[in-house]
Amino acid sequence: MKNTITKMYTVGLLFSIIVFSQPLNAQVAINVKMDTNMMLIGDQTNITLEVVIPADYSVDFPVYNDTIIEKLEILDIMPFDTVVENDLLKIKQQYLVTSFDSGWYAIPPMEFVIACSADSLVDTLLSNPLYFGVMTMPLDSVNADSVTDIKAPIGAPLTFREVLPFASIGLGILLILFLVYFLYMKFARNEAIFVKKEKPKEPAHLIAFRSLDALKEAKLWQQGKNKIFYSQLTDIIRTYIEDRFGIYAMEMTTDEIIESVISESVLEKELKNELFDTLVRADFVKFAKATTLDNENELSIKFAYEFVIKTKLAEIIEEELDEEQDESQNQISQENR
């Protein structure tokens, strides 16, 4: 009886092992393949690693960095591609490889580590080995002219983009040399680097007329402001003399102005006498607090106008006359047309 029970227990144990414990490799498929088993030297091909496992399994692929075997170089490693189909995981990875040595080569079986999280089972499965050949370019032994020299590089025309960097550098060097020469000449001549262009000064008579008109409109002596009136009047006359004749009248006394005018011989005798009378009258009002009559004030400003009119540059008068003649001729020609 005891032997019977022992035999039944043994048979049951064996049955449970057979039924309930399937090996991992019975549920996993591994496939390693190359796109070609014969390639020319320097050509490129793909090696594909593919594993099919249940959804609750995991797998560790073999890891390669630069080469898979000696003389089989890795050019690129593609990312993993995973597809779920009927509770199975289909995981694929590709290596782009090449070889620069002719001959026959064998890739040994690759190791894949498979794990089952449910049963805590771990196993290492091997792939099938791969064999491939690398050949050089075959020579045509029949045709003697098949072996030729290496062709020279094809000449391509220069483009603007290629010339632009060199042209820019050359132009920059020329600009720097010009700037150095420009600065050297400026310093050698003791000239300013940057010269501000001054606006041409107005003719002296225009400035004087504008100032006299403003003084006349102010009506200072009519308001009893004789001292201010004569101060501004003499300033206008002195400024005009300075700009017109180059005599620094603003810093001179009345006697010095008359002496300078006489020595320069720039005024007629009558005009010099009237100028002296006007300046002396102004000095009496400004410094001696003298009182002048209305007709004297009118005479003073009238003389200022006449003095400017009689002494303004003859060239300017001629230019104005020429302009007026040109305008009249243009009008006549237009009317004749």
- For residue 294, pLDDT beyond 70: yes
pLDDT at 147: 62
- Extents of the domains making up the chain: 20-135, 204-318
pLDDT tens, position by position, 162-188: 888 888 999 999 999 998 888 888 788
Q: Could you tell me which of 40, 100, 103 has the C-alpha nearest to residue 67?
A: 100
Q: What is the pTM of this model?
A: 0.39
- The 3-class secondary structure across the chain, one letter per residue, is CHHHHHHHHHHHHHHHHHHHCCCHHHCCEEEEEECCCEEECCCEEEEEEEEEEECCEEEECCCCCCEEECCEEEEEECCCEEEEECCEEEEEEEEEEECCCCEEEEECCCEEEEEECCCCEEEEEECCCEEEEEECCCCCCCCHHHCCCCCCCCCCCCCHHHHHHHHHHHHHHHHHHHHHHHHHHHHHCCCCCCCCCCCCCCCHHHHHHHHHHHHHHHCCHHHCCHHHHHHHHHHHHHHHHHHHHCCCHHHCCHHHHHHHHHHHCCCCHHHHHHHHHHHHHHHHHHHCCCCCCHHHHHHHHHHHHHHHHHHCCHHHHHHHHHHHHHHHHHHHHHHHC
Cα dist from 193 to 178, 185, 186, whole Å: 14, 10, 6
Q: Predicted confidence band at 277 (pLDDT cuts at 50, 70, 90)?
A: confident
pLDDT value at residue 18: 35
Contact present, 238 and 257 (Cβ < 8 Å):
yes
Distance CA(238)–CA(304), nearest Å, equals: 11
Q: How far apart are CA 72 and CA 69, in angstroms?
A: 5
Span 44-70, pLDDT tens digits:
999 999 999 998 898 999 999 999 999
Give the model's pLDDT for residue 272: 80
* Residue in the structure block whose two tokens are 């690398």: 134
Contact 269, 276 (CB under 8 A): no
Average pLDDT, stretch 309-329?
60
CATH class of 20-135: mainly beta
